[in-house]
């Protein structure tokens, strides 16, 4: 969309005056409209998570002024490898490694403060420096308390064999408190502590009515959070105006989506989803930015498909190839440490998430994991009840019953880890990339062929 102001030839004097002001303002700092195609780049997981978003954000953050998290909590897990040091992020934006970059945890994120401080300490030990001057936390972000995590575990136990396989990090119960308008924001913790104490006690009491087995030492928790308030207060800001001004000033803003498109609470494989909107709409509501400031939307696509936890998975491989992908790809959840289920690349799935998110480019990750295969399959569509369908089923029952339609490729059976240009990839690997581009009608701009920051082919 071009950054222009449309005018009517028969406009009133007031309209003309307003247009004049817009023209005058363009000679100074850029207006919001003028920045609309430049200001914000968004990185989203296009499958069921664990696509390698952290590495992509780290790569793009080199040119960014601000990197933001917009939703989710410490149920997310992003790994970044820099000069042999391995950083693990759950709440922190992966771009915090960039020493010249501000990092924002937005209003749409739910924050477990003990987990945040533990994460900071672990990454400091890996070499993270000077984060106190660069980390900003929205005063509108909601808190995840330990009792939310207890509730998460109790709810999963109640479901028995129908459990959802949550991370048990309290994310769902915290978002439920937010939706019920009983949640507590970071700004309330660092503001009037007496009011915070009252709200905390009321929130605990309401949960104990629903879950009699819930044990909370209220006095101890309040003392602990008094200490947390002192530690976190210097980092807390009103971030909506901060980002608005950053856009006006032409700052380069990078948004890191947590979780992934098919874990979105509205568009994912419900109920096997997370409790936030991890599609493009969650960027706007999770940061308070309008849609017209979003330019590039990067889809991070793993060269095969993985999933953690329960739920339908049409291309899942329950054989030696699935085992090979799991072991060779080191497919363990950063947050849960659970093995990831593995399967072939699913283009029918990616078509759907592309429709929802409007991707403008793709970063294909972990292509090197396929290096040893003699034959590779790609799902290009589904059959349901014997008939080919042109949509992604909203029913998990239907999705569990689809028959994948595959195209088969000869594998390249040679290492791609040292390749740094597209033309030097084996012909079969190039064909694999071209099928992805042609099916989705979206260009692949980067290809990951290893774990390190340097293991990227830019096209």
- In the annotation, is 50 catalytic? yes
Furthest-apart CA atoms within the chain: distance in Å = 74
How far lies 330's CA from each of 47, 100, 317, 450, in Å? Answer: 18, 31, 16, 12
Can you read off the two tokens belonging to residue 186?
Answer: 């970071």
Burial call 141-178: b when 16+ CB within 10 Å, e when fewer: bbbbbbbbbbbbebbbeeeeeeeeebbbbbbbbbbbbb
Cα angle for residues 160, 400, 263 (degrees, 5° grid)? 70
**Residue whose token pair is 């594998």:** 411
- Residues 104 and 66 sit within 8 Å (Cβ to Cβ): yes
Cis peptide, bond prior to residue 199, ω within 30 of zero: no
- Residues 66 and 254 sit within 8 Å (Cβ to Cβ): yes
Rounded Cα distance between 95 and 102, Å, is: 8
Task: Write down the catalytic residue from 58, 65, 78, 346.
Answer: 78
Rounded Cα distance between 197 and 223, Å, is: 10
According to DSSP, the residues that pair with 369 across neighbouring strands are none
Task: Write down the catalytic residue from 50, 65, 152, 264.
Answer: 50
Q: Return the number of other C-beta atoms located less than 10 Å from residue 392's C-beta.
A: 21
Can you read off the two tokens belonging to residue 131?
Answer: 């984060």
Q: Return the number of other C-beta atoms located less than 10 Å from residue 41's C-beta.
A: 23
Rounded Cα distance between 279 and 258, Å, is: 9
How far lies 432's CA from each of 328, 347, 365, 372, in Å? Answer: 19, 12, 13, 15
Phi, psi of 327, rounded to the nearest 5 degrees: -75, -50
* Angle at which helices 347-357 and 427-440 cross, to 10°: 50
Rounded Cα distance between 168 and 75, Å, is: 8
Burial call 202-221: b when 16+ CB within 10 Å, e when fewer: ebbeebeeebeeeebeeeeb
- In the annotation, is 78 catalytic? yes
Strands 387-389 and 375-384: antiparallel
According to DSSP, the residues that pair with 89 across neighbouring strands are 78
**Residue whose token pair is 């803003």:** 253
Rounded Cα distance between 175 and 179, Å, is: 6
What is the 8-class DSSP label of residue 26?
T
Phi, psi of 170, rounded to the nearest 5 degrees: 85, 10
- Catalytic site positions: 50, 78
């Amino acid at each position: 969309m071009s950054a222009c102001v449309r005018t009517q030839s028969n406009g009133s004097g007031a309209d003309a005056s307003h247009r004049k002001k817009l023209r005058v303002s363009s000679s100074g700092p850029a207006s919001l409209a003028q920045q609309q195609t430049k200001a914000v780049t968004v990185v989203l997981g296009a499958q069921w998570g664990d696509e390698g978003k952290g590495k992509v954000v780290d790569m793009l953050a080199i040119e960014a002024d601000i990197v933001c998290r917009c939703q989710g909590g410490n149920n997310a897990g992003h790994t970044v490898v820099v000069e042999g040091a391995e950083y693990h992020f759950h709440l922190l934006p992966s771009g915090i490694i960039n020493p010249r970059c501000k990092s924002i945890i937005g209003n749409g994120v739910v924050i477990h403060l003990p987990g945040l401080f533990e994460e900071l300490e672990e990454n400091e030990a890996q070499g993270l420096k000077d984060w106190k001057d660069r980390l900003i936390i929205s005063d509108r972000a909601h808190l995840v308390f330990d009792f939310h995590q207890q509730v998460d575990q109790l709810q999963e136990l109640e479901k028995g064999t129908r459990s959802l396989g949550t991370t048990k990090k309290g994310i769902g119960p915290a978002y439920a408190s937010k939706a019920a308008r009983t949640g507590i924001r970071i700004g309330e913790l660092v503001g009037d502590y007496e009011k915070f104490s009252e709200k905390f006690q009321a929130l605990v009491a309401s949960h104990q009515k629903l879950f009699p087995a819930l044990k909370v030492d209220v006095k101890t928790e309040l003392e602990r959070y008094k200490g947390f308030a002192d530690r976190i207060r210097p980092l807390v800001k009103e971030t909506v105006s901060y980002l608005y001004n950053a856009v006006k000033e032409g700052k380069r803003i990078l948004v890191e989506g947590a979780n992934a498109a098919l874990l979105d609470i509205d568009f994912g494989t419900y109920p096997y989803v997370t409790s936030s909107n991890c599609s493009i709409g969650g960027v706007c509501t999770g940061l308070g930015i309008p849609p017209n400031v979003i330019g590039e939307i990067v889809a991070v696509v793993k060269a095969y498909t993985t999933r953690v936890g329960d739920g339908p998975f049409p291309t899942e491989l329950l054989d030696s190839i699935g085992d090979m992908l799991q072991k060779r790809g080191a497919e363990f959840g950063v947050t849960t440490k659970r093995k990831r289920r593995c399967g072939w690349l699913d283009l029918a799935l990616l078509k759907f998430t592309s429709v929802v998110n409007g991707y403008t480019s793709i970063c294909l990750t972990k292509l090197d994991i396929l290096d040893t295969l003699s034959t590779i399959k790609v799902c290009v569509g589904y059959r349901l009840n014997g008939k080919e369908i042109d949509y992604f089923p909203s029913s998990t029952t239907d999705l569990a019953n689809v028959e994948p339609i595959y195209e088969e490729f000869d594998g390249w059976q040679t290492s791609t880890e040292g390749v740094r240009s597209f033309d030097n990839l084996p012909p079969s690997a190039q064909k694999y990339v071209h099928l992805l581009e042609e099916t989705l009608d979206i260009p692949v701009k980067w290809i990951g062929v290893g774990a390190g920051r340097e293991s990227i082919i830019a096209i």
